[in-house]
Structure 1
């Protein structure tokens, strides 16, 4: 019986597993990039909440100070009028009496609009009650003076009623101010925490995404190899063509997803100017990861990358006659797992050089070289980045996120990261395990 119109069961099984692997890789990649987008969105929301809280705190603090100023001016006018009987002192009293209700109205509007702490509602009622008591006491005393009851006004002024009302009002104002400052401090801390964690988590997520892609490509190549052993030469060529097409399709989809994330990050800051520096930094690092990914998509079927190609791809946007670089070292092949964190390190060093390093000055120069140290299983790859300039910028003494990111990348590769500053520039050395 002829079976020319039917595929062998084993062949069908290989094709099914290959399709499943491709689908799994695409799903993992999509999930990774969605998680990255959620992290970016969370950071932008934290920044927005901080700005809103800062605006709210500023308005509430202004209202609280106006209430205190109104009571102080009114009391000063009352005392001056009592001592001198000069009607001009009543101008200060009238100013305070006019300012007080407007300030209370602004404070009540902000508290009622967005109640964050229930204690603030209680303090608002306390401030209103104590303020009304104080102005009632001041108004009564001034009325007594105007009616000629100087002795009665004197007794009322010398009593503790006015002093106690003022002290209670100020106690409530101080407590309200403390609560609002605490809310602002929490918002600032939350925004700083979100910004601190976003880039490491984003880098880890994208690294896992690239790992899933590498796994899918490996499974595809393995399935193709198994099929090649069971098929004739013609079927083998067709299988390889399909495998190549699948690999290119996966790579194309990953690049598209990277592009979507970059576009969303940039669009997120379009209507938020204050968030633009954060999103630009995130977009630059995502682009560095994309460069590292593209460097692993060369002719090597295993997804390996050349050290020199990786460096040239990362530095390409910054190179010019004004920004010279010298690159030297033996041929080194890196896996996608090694290329991604190393690409992030090179990106950080390049952007730092443009901002305040050798490339920020006329005549600055950068030299990059690498060599092998040791032999056998203990062999290491030493990568040196050397910057020289006429007036190098001294270190600030504060360890920023870029430094932590580079140290984290070195730890991912089980290596070390060392940076030293000299009179004519800066030197960075990374040592990575690279067995022979």
Structure 2
């Protein structure tokens, strides 16, 4: 039998025979995971931390973040608390739909006008075939066409309703492509698939009194860093990584596709022809103003969101009735909160000080020591501002010498 045809237990047994030590896992959990992926042999767990005070459009949210980086959750909380002191953020999601692509190869006698006249009929047929999506407010909204030599490029806008919708959109595109490839002047269908081009754009804005971030000098420094990020690719990519720290953690916690968002963000950051920071900060009077636009093709239903109990728990924390637009607003706000915290750190004490203080937990976790000893070592690392594995071992020896 091929590896994928084996049961999870058989796969694990095969690895064990090869001398690979595997951690124990509950059989029921193993079989549940086997339904979610391919060639499953185990699990990888992530802690879920919370941002309990995110104020978006006047509503407070408890936001779950799945990440092993304590500094990411701490930064999101720091930024969120500053936002809250200033009345929170305003956010808006433009969720017209996802773009799908159908590429056809034409013959010499292809008539573009003839195909365009069929668009309303094709849309009607697709929406009839996928009536369940239309029932929830989605469906095919528009078809656009351009031709380059013998290639016909069709862009199909599909509203996925409350789902991320990748599988549904691909099914719709295949349905339409099959209809089109039978038409006169069409030689072949090359492909029909969702595009991850930036769509479902969400914009968040915030206005902060400078005295809540350390004064006008700090605000001006943040604005200068932001300005540099618009022209210097080294600063821009690091700035955007800081944004994605929070965005990724929230996407993973809510069962959404972080890879698709990553790909779209890369394109959006390069829209001007030069890669630039996704966020912008500027001083206006006694206020530091910030804004961020992100492409968030996400959902709140379907796929692993429905299948995973750990993800469903996170939705209970967020609010079971949260809409996809609301979730996009929340995730973009988390990104801006992480961005503010990072820029504040760079503009004041430096980012490494707080980061390493939090990372000291990981250093202590690796020690072969009792819980009480680990707590004492953690305290010594923080007091002495020494953040290395060697320092952790040194302080553990000191603790034991005193016992």
Q: TM-score range by the shorter chain?
A: under 0.3
Answer 1 or 2: which has greater strand percent.
Answer: 2
Higher relative CO (Cα under 8 Å, sequence separation at least 6) belongs to 2
Larger Rg computed on CA atoms = 1
Q: Give the TM-score of the pair, scaled to structure 2.
A: 0.20
Q: Give the TM-score of the pair, scaled to structure 1.
A: 0.19
Answer 1 or 2: which has greater helix percent.
Answer: 1
